[in-house]
Amino acid sequence: MKRTVAIAAIAGFSLGGLVALAWYQWPSYVRDGAVETPRRPAWTEAQWPFPVDEWGKGKAFRCAAADCGVEVNVYVRAKIGFCNCTTGVADDEELDRVADLRLMGERPSALAAGSPITVAWMKGRSRAYTTQRPQSSALAIAFNDRCDVVVATAIVAHPHPAPLEPSIVAFLSSETVIRWAEVTLGL
């Protein structure tokens, strides 16, 4: 607070000073073209935008660019009995098999090897992909409870989604998503 008052006093009441003050108070999560991990992402529920298929509707959530640095849309749904009951989502092959790659557009290609993640008590995997949309990318995330898998697709309005992965996984571990997963998986 003292820092803001000092900047306001130095800047004065000129238009340039107000612009400088506004710049200081509104943090940017995109610096030199790279996305930084947002400090306080705010997620709001949205309507499921895809046609119903064999897995039914899921849940959709959005984090605006003002809250995440770039717009992020996360689509989550359960696939009952579709996971490898022995190993779970332990490798990229299983992630690619269970993920909703069709939600990313035609022929997404992996940007790198996936990495293990933990969502609440469940283990899984996350992997970044390119999309057909210019200046966007996606994360495929899957985690399982025994033979049931929860898949999440995050569409990110930036070509490099990796810095946003921790925030997205933290959201998937939130009470909102975990409560939905418990009900949907019948736990």
| Residues 107/72, Cβ–Cβ less than 8 Å | no
pLDDT of 37-96, one tens digit each? 556 789 999 999 999 899 989 999 999 999 988 999 999 999 999 998 999 999 999 999
pLDDT of 83-130, one tens digit each? 989 999 999 999 999 999 887 777 788 999 999 999 999 999 999 998
**Alpha helices (H) in 36-158, listed in sequence order:** 65-68, 92-98
Whether the model clears a pTM of 0.75, i.e. scores above it, the answer is yes
CA distance linking residue 55 with residue 49, whole number of Å: 14
Distance linking the first and last C-alpha atoms of the chain: 46
- Residues with Cβ < 8 Å from 168, sequence gap 6 or more? 72, 74, 139, 141, 152, 154
